[in-house]
Amino acid sequence: MNRFILAVTAGLLATGAAQAQVTEDDLANDQSITTQVVTNGMGRHLQRYSPLDTLNKDNVQNLVPAWAFSMGGEKQRGQETQPIVYDGVMYVTGSYSRLYAIDLASGEELWQYDARLPEGILPCCDVINRGAAIYGDKIIFGTLDARLVALDRKTGDVVWRDKIADYKAGYSYTAAPLIVNGLVITGNSGGEFGIVGEVQARDVETGDMVWTRPVIEGHMGTLNGEESTMTGELNATWPGDLWKTGGGATWLGGSYDAETDTLIFGTGNPAPWNSHLRGAGSPSEGNTGDNLYAASRLGIDPATGEIKWHFQTTPREGWDYDGVNEVVAYEDADGNKRFATADRNGFFYVLNREDGAFVDAHPFVKDITWASDIDETGRPVFVEENRPGDPSAAADGGKGEVVFSAPGFLGGKNWMPMAYSQNTGLFYVPSNEWGMDIWNEPVTYKKGAAYLGSGFTIKPMYEDHIGSLKAIDPATGEWKWEFKNEAPLWGGVMTTAGGLVFTGTPEGKFLALDDETGEVLWSFQTGSGIVGQPVTWDQDGEQYVSVVSGWGGAVPLWGGEVAKKVNYLNQGGTVWTFKLPKQLASSN
């Protein structure tokens, strides 16, 4: 009898659970539905702003741990993920392409999926994963061997899987997928291996490909299995056949602007890094050497994959200044609909949302050397003597002239997402102040091998800090305040209507700062460096905040002298979840 009752109860629970389906409306209204977090960026516009104000400047000191979940085992490395929260469950990806379902009330594991990666994967910048996407009854994420996997979100069973690209050619995948109108939309990773950046759209129910859009000019897109249109114009900005292995990886994923029905994807560095090989060091007549559409932002039609507009942040790129950084939709103080993006090249750009047209740009790091300014068209004013030298002009035909460039190749801002506050109208930008010695070298393409043609040594620029969280007015570029950190900042930022800015440091501190002054109001030591992305939600009348701790990412792998400064930091792998208890919500 007891077994029968349990079976019936389980059946009723399963029936009830089946009724909870993530819809397009849930995704579209994620920012305002405060009991969930169902998009990467806490809204497909990527503002990372919550209207919750239960937790605020007056009571944040009462924020306490609710539970902690260990990702376990020896599979640590960097944990750059953002949790997804829905229907009593948290879904969080981990390093080495794992995904966990965690009971939201208790922190207990419900199930775990391990992608079981093959030998020979070629990740550029650690074995990280930045999060999953959720739709209907599925949770979907990408793996380091360049595959996309859809799981049943209740059981963790595989529903479908598909190959994004060939990992043996250097492709991988690390971003959180984006879902729009029943399509799961992905980019690709592998910009250091001579791959070709691409955006792909699949039917979220079946995994069937709907369209593809390569982002390097000369390549053909597809729609419903047939060739559609060429990207750009063949050889307009690329010499010879270099476009065939032209880079431009779309490795950070994209955003979606519902008002213009546009996907916005950033594209990475052109390949190889040696700009002289690509005709960008000294463009020839009839060829600009801009190498479109690398180091750019693209507006894409979500139904067809056609490019609506482009804006290239670093034409003639020669310093590894990827253009992938997130593009955030917002309205300025005058009601103008704008995009903002803080580029790896050190400039903060404002664009028009209708057509991606340039509005303004300001530096958000100090002592930029590669360009003196951004002109009225949005094009950089290059300082040509600070471009790495042409190896073919060297006496021995080897190493080109070494130059010092700032920011370093890891960027004034790398992947770590900034946040926008509707409370203050400011952007909160996690940046790093560093430079590099960089030089060019001869290189030829070989499938699956690094395709750089450059060497580098990254260097700190100031004794007291590398990391710098800045509150930036997008109208003027003014820095309202700056929070300095000795080690590089590599984690995401979140803002709330309670006047708080949340972020973490490599030293393990999870911080809440005053959004108007930058004063640290609350701090918690997580035990490992934070390179994850915080989220917040409301549960049974209490506000929760969660972040994943676990040091890693590109800095310890590529950071040179900088990496030596932080090599004492512990790896980890813990989901920390905090709450403001009801009885303490009104305490001062």
The residues spanned by each domain of the chain are: 35-47+78-586
Instruction: Label residues 19-31 b or e (16+ Cβ within 10 Å = b).
Output: eeebeeebbbebb
Spatial separation of the C-alpha atoms in residues 514 and 497, rounded to whole Å: 11
The binding site consists of 80, 130, 174, 192, 269, 320, 414-415
Spatial separation of the C-alpha atoms in residues 373 and 368, rounded to whole Å: 9
The binding site for Ca(2+) consists of 192, 269, 320
Spatial separation of the C-alpha atoms in residues 104 and 37, rounded to whole Å: 12
Residue 408's Cβ-count burial label (10 Å; 0-12, 13-18, 19+) is buried
User: 579 near 104, Cβ under 8 Å?
Assistant: no
Q: What is the per-residue pLDDT across 244-294, written as a single tens digit (0 to 9) for each? A: 999 999 999 999 999 999 999 999 999 999 999 999 888 876 678 999 999
- Spell out, as residue ranges, where the chain has pLDDT lower than 70: 1-19, 73-75, 285-286, 396-397, 587-588
User: 364 near 413, Cβ under 8 Å?
Assistant: yes
Long-range contacts of 443-447 (CB under 8 A, 24+ apart): 443/272, 443/274, 443/277, 445/194, 445/245, 445/272, 447/168, 447/169, 447/170, 447/194
Read off the pTM.
0.95
User: 440 near 394, Cβ under 8 Å?
Assistant: no
Catalytic site positions = 320
The DSSP code for 191 is G
CATH number of 35-47+78-586: 2.140.10.10
Strand 49-50 and strand 494-496: pairing?
parallel
The binding site for pyrroloquinoline quinone consists of 80, 130, 174, 414-415
Q: Give me the phi and psi of 11, to 5 degrees please.
A: -65, -40
pLDDT at 557: 79
